[in-house]
Each structure stands twice: as C-alpha cells, then as structure tokens.
Amino acid sequence: MSAVFQRCVNCRKAYFPFRLICSRCSNTSFVEDDVDSGVVEAVTLLSSGQQTATVVCPEDVQFIARILGGTVKAGDSIDLTNTASEETALVGYVPFQRNKA
C-alpha cells in the first residue's frame, strides 16, 4: 500500500499532483516514487460526513487524502494508498490515474 508522487531527476524535489516543469530548477524530467504513510496535518469534515485530510510525508511531499475506514485527527499517522479497496482498514486514499498518452 502506497501513494505515488513525482520527483525531479535533477534536484530531487517531490511533487503531487504531477507537474510538467520543476519550480525549483526548471527541469522537465521526473521519475515516479512512492510513500507508504504520512502524518495528518489538518482534517476537513465534509457535509456528507466524509473526512479529507492533508497528509505530510517524510519525503517532503503532501497529499490531500480521502479518509476511509474510520476517522483521523491532526497528528495521527496514516497509511496511504492509490487504490480504493473493499478493505475496512483505516487508510488515506489518494485518487491517482496515470495519463494515457
């Protein structure tokens, strides 16, 4: 279980969502990397009762994740995934689809 992000091959800066040009070094070549978990920084409760959270990861990238399988609060550590499964485990779901060129 992990969430994909993009890393500049020149300066190693991490991005999500993906970019075409690195804001730090203007490079246009990136590689995909992934991270297993992060720490909840802020939580938003939607009118539907669904939580979304800003999750900060040690790789210096942050995700907006949909919280599945429970609830979280700021400071909680949470696993991240790009796959919304039938599992009931607490997870931060980051919708992601590769561009099909």
Residues in the site for Zn ion, rule: CB under 5 A? 8, 10-11, 13, 22, 24-25, 27
Find the shortest distance in angstroms from Cβ 21 to Zn ion. Answer: 9
Find the shortest distance in angstroms from Cβ 83 to Zn ion. Answer: 28
Find the shortest distance in angstroms from Cβ 8 to Zn ion. Answer: 3
Residue with smaller CB distance to Zn ion, 12 or 66: 12
HEC profile for the chain?
A: CCEEEEEECCCCCEECCCCCCCCCCCCCCEEEEEECEEEEEEEEECCCCCEEEEEEECCCEEEEEEEECCCCCCCCEEEEECCCCCCCCCEEECCCCCCCC
